[in-house]
Amino acid sequence: MAREFLLPDIGEGLTEAEIVRWLVPVGGRVEADQPVVEVETDKAVVEIPSPYAGTVLRHGGAEGETIRVGSVLVVIGEEGEVEASAPAAPEPEPTHAAPPIVGSLSEEAEVLSPAGQTAAGQGATAVKALPIVRKLARDMGIDLGQVSGTGPEGRITRDDVLAAAPTTTETREPAEEPLPQPETAGSPAPVSGEDERRPLSRLRRTIASNMAKSWAEIPHVTTFDEVDATRLVEIRSALGARHEVKLPMEALVIKAVVPALEAFPEFNATLDGDDLIVHGSYHIGIAVDTPDGLLVAVIRDTGPRAVLDIASEVRRLGDGARDRSLAPDELTGQTFTVSNIGAVGGGQGTPIVPYGTTAILSVGRAQEKVVVSNGDLAIAPVMPLSLSYDHRVIDGAQGRRFMALVIENLEEPALFLAG
């Protein structure tokens, strides 16, 4: 008996998802709990397992198509079975239909094979590439089998696909011999390139929507400061040497921030209408720069965690965010956010408060500067800080007190590591 599997809500408030890649073709055998399709939600690329065992009778959408939650994702039945309510076959296209998509406009181009016709163990699994990279290659008509990967273990990256795209001169027919032009004074005017319209990716659309909503609804205030990071750098180096691990700066900053969140709970809260929901746990979001855009991964319950445990989570979530392999619940639910723009060479900035929270701390790159220490001049690593907060909830004086406590902790890590 044919059974329909509807697209479930796999994240908070998910309404739709884009089909990235079918893992089992129509007519293929699937076991219960076996991944049958990869879909991209607003932030994550996830595999969805089949709840039934049997033969795939119909896909609920083509690769690249967006379907809504509650719509038919896949129909599974017995081998040779015909779906009773299968949609009627489309009318044949007229003979003057548009030509098929090809990988190049040269005379030696080959027609791309339709999706889902690769044999098991071939095609999609013959090359190493993330689903989002495979989609980009399909959109650009590029055969990943002909692309050399420069990523880890030969994985094909977004840049590899873009580099493999045919250039403008390769896709045009040879021009006729130009007519001689009269000589004019000065250099000829440069030829302007053609404008290109690029549709935003699903992730970029989500980022744009969230940023616009935060900026439109939250009255931002940003306070700036600097911290003498001498002791922080020493402690980071000592812990790394003792435990033979590179300690992410985010781990120490998070441990320094938690006591400040305990002292000033309005910074660990959500404004809901006329009520302020003060959260009892500290779920710290960390901003991760990925090839596809900024993602915020969430470290749960940081209060009681040791700094090495937090450091391990920072590394794991960072790798998962860049690979787009994190689950939806690992990308939502932060109560406060730390953004280490120093990792990409940044200094001070004006970070935007993530919607649903009241504050975000941005940490810049420490640079050596002249400081006054015990009445004498000295050279020390100075780290810039930028704290943005919701002025509806937090006043300027409270923002300064919060920042002062964070600075005190960062300048003497023993104050928070002893807790």
Give catalytic residues, as residue numbers.
Answer: 391
Residue 121: DSSP 8-state: T
DSSP secondary structure string, 275-338?
EEEE-SS--EEEEEEETTEEEEEEE---TT--HHHHHHHHHHHHHHHHHT---GGGSS--SEEE
Q: Where are the beta strands (DSSP E) in 185-304?
A: 220-228, 269-272, 275-278, 284-290, 293-299
C-beta of residue 254 within 8 angstroms of C-beta of residue 338: yes
Compute the distance between CA of residue 130 and CA of residue 146 in angstroms, rounded to an integer.
Answer: 16
Compute the distance between CA of residue 259 and CA of residue 98 in angstroms, rounded to an integer.
Answer: 64
Compute CA 268 distance to the chain's CA centroid, rounded to the nearest angstrom: 24
| Residue 50 CB-half CA count within 13 A | 26
Enumerate residues 6+ apart whose C-beta is below 8 A from 276: 266, 269, 270, 393
Q: Where are the beta strands (DSSP E) in 7-162?
A: 16-22, 29-30, 35-40, 45-49, 54-59, 66-68, 72-77
Of 374, 375, 348, the C-alpha closest to 362 is 348
C-beta of residue 72 within 8 angstroms of C-beta of residue 57: no
* 277 DSSP β-pair partners: 270
Compute the distance between CA of residue 227 and CA of residue 233 in angstroms, rounded to an integer.
Answer: 12
